[in-house]
Amino acid sequence: IKAIREYCESDVLNTYLIYLRFEQIRGNLNGNALTEELENITSALSKSGFSHLNDFLEFCRRDKPAKAELPINLPENSEDRSL
């Protein structure tokens, strides 16, 4: 059961991190908001004490999004979300 729980927790975190990037690409989340959310995740993971989540903790600590990381140029506060 422990291995299944750890897998599920990792899967949920992977999905959430993908979702955050998707929202950034769509223009619904700017670099500052993404950084803030990664800091929230880092804080929660640091307090969790779950060693199987250390890879996610390391990712959140080192991943500092920048506009240059976007595959396309999007205005920070664009109302037009079409691609």
Q: Quick check: 21 and 15 in contact, CB under 8 A? A: no
**Residue pLDDT, tens place only, 40-53:** 888 888 888 888 88
Residue-level pLDDT at 73: 44
Residue-level pLDDT at 47: 86
pTM: 0.65
Q: What are phi and psi of 70, to 5 degrees?
A: -70, 140
Q: How many residues does the chain have?
A: 83
